[in-house]
Amino acid sequence: MLSVSGLTKRFGGFLAVNQVSFEVREGEILGLIGPNGSGKSTTFNLIAGALRPTAGSIRFKGGEIGGLSAHRICRNGIARTFQIPRPFRKLSLIENVTLAAYFGNGSSDRVEARRHAEEALALVGLPADPHTMTDGLGAAALKKLELARALATRPTLLLADESLGGLDASEMERAADLLESIRTRMRITIIWVEHIMGVLMRVVDRVIVLDHGEKIFEGLPRDAAHDPRVTEVYLGQRRT
């Protein structure tokens, strides 16, 4: 459903993403891993329209979306979460999510948007009462809010950026289960970015590994663990 080819992003003289190509199949969970600074979030920013590609193409459901503005891409059915949660602190939880439900798929019915928002909050396990504000939410709850907002736009493709960051071990397991149930119950295709392998490997169908902006591996999770280049990157045995 998504086809990325030759995707490149240059910041000044620095190549953050270099000639990356991959396909995402409908209904799968694709893991996108790599050490910090390997270009994962930048890849998401390019797909979601927050950044313009320097070169390459991004096709979604047959149409080119590279360089489209972020709100159009969202309305086309691609939702993203931010690695560092970016809640609107002046708004309540339910308002945060209602905005996504209202604008994210060009609906124009506030009551319906509100209902979708309540569903999304219930799904991730956050309160939907009108008075809960975002201050005082912990890391796990903020990650859930990111997810609820993205889901409320009713995407067909979800870009989840480090949904496990800052969580403890049991929270990680629950977050992984949540992503898996989003895929199976809501039939949403997922690209899941994480800088550690960990629980991600249990849930994903396939995995892509980035290093220094380049794709160094694509295949099944169990093969990744034995791939010499991947282990080199992850075990820090690089000779440079």
Partner 1 sequence: MNPPRAINPLHVAGIAALACLIALPFVTPAYFLHIVIQILLWGFIYTAWSIMGRFGFVSLGHGAFMGVGAYVPALLWNYEGVTPWLGIPAGVALSVLLAVVIGYPCFRFRVIGHYFALVTLALSEVVLRTITAARDITGGSLGMTQKLAGHSWYALQFPDKRYFYGIALVVWLGGLLVWRWVDRGIEREALEAISEDEEAAASLGIDVMREKLRVTVVSAALTSVGGSLFGQYLAYLNPETVSGIAVSLQIVFAAIAGGMYALLGPTVGAFLTIALNEGLRVWFGTNFIGAANTIYGILLILFIIFMPRGIMGVIENLRMPRRAPAPAPAE
Ligand X SMILES: Nc1ncnc2c1ncn2[C@@H]1O[C@H](COP(=O)(O)OP(=O)(O)O)[C@@H](O)[C@H]1O
Find the shortest distance in angstroms from Cβ 41 to Mg ion: 3
31 binds ligand X per the rule CB under 6 A: no
Question: For residue 24, what are the contacts with CB-CB under 8 A and spacing of at least 6?
Answer: 1, 2, 3, 4, 30, 157, 189, 191
CA distance 114 to 227: 47
1 binds partner 1 per the rule CB under 8 A: no
202 interacts with, out of Mg ion, ligand X, partner 1, none, CB within 5 to 8 A per kind: none
Residue 191, judged by CB atoms within 10 A of its CB (0-12, 13-18, 19+), counts as buried
31 interacts with, out of Mg ion, partner 1, ligand X, none, CB within 5 to 8 A per kind: none
Find the shortest distance in angstroms from Cβ 153 to ligand X: 22
Q: Which of 18, 38, 83, 163 binds Mg ion (CB under 5 A)?
A: 83
16 interacts with, out of partner 1, ligand X, Mg ion, none, CB within 5 to 8 A per kind: ligand X
Q: Which of 214, 180, 177, 172 is nearest to 197 (CA)?
A: 172
CA distance 222 to 69: 37
229 binds partner 1 per the rule CB under 8 A: no
Q: Which of 38, 92, 98, 163 binds ligand X (CB under 6 A)?
A: 38
Which amino acid is residue 76, in one-letter code? Answer: N
CA distance 155 to 182: 11
Nearer to partner 1, 157 or 230 (CB): 157
Q: Which residues contact ligand X by CB under 6 A?
A: 11, 16, 34, 36-42
Q: Which residues contact Mg ion by CB under 5 A?
A: 40-41, 83
